[in-house]
Structure 1
Amino acid sequence: MKRILPVIIIAQFFCTSVWFAGNAIMGDIARQLHLEPSYLAHLTSAVQLGFIAGTLIFAVLSIADRFSPVKVFCCCAMIAATINLGAGLNSIDAATLIMCRFATGFFLAGIYPVGMKIASDHYQQGLGKSLGFLVGALVLGTAFPHFLKSIDTGLSYKYVIYATSVLSALGGIAMLLLVPDGPHRKQGQRLHFNGFLSGFRNPGFRAAAFGYFGHMWELYAFWVFVPVILGAYKESYAAEMNVSLLSFLIIAIGSLSCVAGGYLSQKFGAKRVATAALLTSCTCCIASPLCLFANAMWVFIAFLFIWSIAVIADSPLFSTLIAQNAPIETKGSSLTIVNSIGFAITIVSIQLVTALRVSANAQYIYMLLAIGPALGLIALMKKSSSS
């Protein structure tokens, strides 16, 4: 029993490393294929769209509830690893690359939400702490390709693709061999095409879901634009910095805040800690014009670290609240559909910032990300006033 959570965490970290593998080497791909810098947003959105399509199908068909979630996780990890390799083909073109990233995102739908389902099937008590570790693993997996890219190995940039595919395959195998289905799992016997919507009848589920949606408006847009923000600062001030390494460190520090948030939730409650984190990240969005263009590099870097800590700390707590308020028979599908809607929202925010961002408004554009946290806070406060 003691080994189960560490294995789930490591498997989640390994498998989610394919998520941002394309982003970490986007500069190299753009040069090879003669693409515009804005292609980064399309590449990221392709993964998100694939994830949305996957989560919708997984939710409607109740895949994680009707079948062994451990086997679902393993199969999806192996397939995602194989498809991810396609991005490293010498003959790849822009359209095929987009298709590969879409397909990778599709099978990530059987990894991230299903991993949370597996953890919730094993850990009813202390679920916030368990999911804190699990989402922390997602954050580290998301950041890891930037770390791989920052290492000057003398190898082709494609080694990032190869390395993340190997990690994904290993994660899937580890989950299958070392983690059984949880004792709290209740298998769905019949196919209910609308079963994934049943959780929204619960006010607690709705409040947590809408808080999560507001959080997602900000989260992935922040992660996508971290290298862009660093690169712009480096160019403006002729600063000496390793953009890939700093991107890794800034995103990865969020894994620690996920774990800390999980522990704090045991003392103060998941909802209270999530609300505090959401308020902090909203404040960072509003303060971004002052701090992202500060002359002092230490102010600029420190602000990005603080923002990164706040922007993800509430994610495992919202997942905890959603899992606790979801009907037990459709818990996997409920988690999956909330993920699906949340990731659809990320595409809107990423594309909006990309479309509107020009040199004249670059200082103020990230204030748009405050919209999501503000609406999420309203949803949480409405639940508090009605309960």
Structure 2
Amino acid sequence: MIELLRRYPLPVIVLAQLFGTSLWFSINGVWLSFSRESGLTESDLGRLTLAVQAGFIIGTLTIAVTGLADRFGASRIFAVASVLGALVNGGFVFAAHLPPLDFMLRFATGLCLAGIYPLGMKMVIAWTPKHAGSALAWLVGMLTLGTALPHLMRGATFGMPWELPLLAASLLALIGGAMVLLLGDGPHLPKSSGAIPLSQGLAALRIPRFRAVAGGYFGHMWELYAFWTLTPLLVGRELQRLAADDRLIPWLAFAVIGIGAVGCIGGGKLSRTKGSEWVAWRALMISGIVCLLYPWLSGLSPMLLITLLFVWGIAVVADSPQFSALAAATAPRESVGSSLAVMNAVGFGLTLPAIWLTSGLWGQFGVWVVLLLVPGPVLGLWSLARAKA
């Protein structure tokens, strides 16, 4: 069994990533039925989403400044984080109507995800060092599908208790953790010996090219998770204009978010010939243009707007693995895991105000809140241009 897994390490890692990251938006996927039962609003959705993001940020910062990602085996951290994440995600079922315990459990879910996503990136690099951009594209593609998966589970279990998709995500996380534990650590990165200075995870920020690439990633992150948070609201608006059944919302939300996996994998293939910078630049530019135009076109045909959402869904995440590949290639080899963790921490920190602003102002301004996301792609492109200089 172990030999079979190690013969195909990349599919094992990306499938485990898909299962583990289904915890991320598990609440968002059941929000329609859950909010009707509990009387919560879009602002409450933003609050619980922010809790996950905040937990992820604290977790990645802890990994970065302590060097945990380079001191202990990535597969062990991934497996432990998956088990703990499954438990706290499942615990939300019993604390859903008990603030602030609901917030604390979502925060703990984010902490656990910090041991899944960045460590998954390190494992991909450790097992398949060649064509890192293409390999990471598969990984981020699975992160994207994992993010969308709760919406699919909600659509498939419509009319059933909202707790079922939530518990299904926990079960998937357990399976993903077991797969990675059996696979083990890859052979292509050096193992750390002894204690690691607290500053090791921050060392890459002293490298000008790493800072420029990270700046592009930060602009991308300002847009990405806020867009994913708004997706059920955006598709719900268009389906309402079409007088369509609201049971279609989770299916369409899954499709709009999940199609980003196609953008990731397609961008990864292009990166083999065009390079990661070429892919990242164009994906960020396309998503920025759609973000800018979308509210001005909001009075046009709902079908046109849904088509634009699919274009946006493809472009908005296609650059993410390429930024990670560029950062991994630039960071000190002995601290790749910690360098990626600190970049993740700052990037996810920027998702907090973006999600808070857009979800909090949706009730007042509707679709126009997406204009608040435009500065992300603009500043990201400016920073990436500095990497080329």
User: TM-score by structure 1 length?
Assistant: 0.95
Whether 1:379 and 2:383 are equivalent positions in the alignment is yes
Aligned pairs for 1:1-387 within 5 A = 1-89=6-94, 92-152=97-157, 154-240=159-245, 242-294=248-300, 296-359=301-364, 361-385=365-389
What amino acid sits opposite 2:373 in the alignment? Answer: L
Structure 1 stretch 247-256 or stretch 281-290: which is displaced more?
281-290
SS at match of 2:259: helix
Aligned length: 383
Deviation of residue 362 (structure 1)?
2.5
What amino acid sits opposite 2:133 in the alignment? Answer: G
User: TM-score by structure 2 length?
Assistant: 0.95
- Unaligned regions of 5+ residues in structure 2, if any? 1-5
What amino acid sits opposite 2:274 in the alignment? Answer: F
Contact (CA 8 Å) 2:242, 2:302: kept in 1 or not? no
What amino acid sits opposite 1:332 in the alignment? Answer: G
Deviation of residue 122 (structure 1)?
1.7
Contact (CA 8 Å) 2:26, 2:169: kept in 1 or not? yes
TM-superposition CA deviations, 1:154-189 (whole Å, max 9, x none): 531100111000000000000011243333233253
What amino acid sits opposite 1:34 in the alignment? Answer: G
- What is the match of residue 3 of structure 2? none
Deviation of residue 204 (structure 1)?
1.7
Contact (CA 8 Å) 1:205, 1:325: kept in 2 or not? yes
What amino acid sits opposite 1:108 in the alignment? Answer: L
TM-superposition CA deviations, 1:220-258 (whole Å, max 9, x none): 000000101122233344234500000001100001110
- Cα 1:363/1:84, change in 2 over 3 Å: closer
Deviation of residue 358 (structure 1)?
4.2
RMSD: 1.6
Contact (CA 8 Å) 1:233, 1:293: kept in 2 or not? no
SS at match of 1:362: helix
CA distance, structure 1, for counterparts of residue 281 and residue 35 of structure 2? 39
Contact (CA 8 Å) 1:277, 1:314: kept in 2 or not? yes
- Unaligned regions of 5+ residues in structure 1, if any? none
Runs of 4+, deviation exceeding 6 Å:
none
Contact (CA 8 Å) 1:216, 1:345: kept in 2 or not? yes
TM-superposition CA deviations, 1:100-136 (whole Å, max 9, x none): 1100000100000000011111222110010000000
Deviation of residue 70 (structure 1)?
0.7
CA distance, structure 1, for counterparts of residue 8 and residue 38 of structure 2? 45
Deviation of residue 315 (structure 1)?
0.2
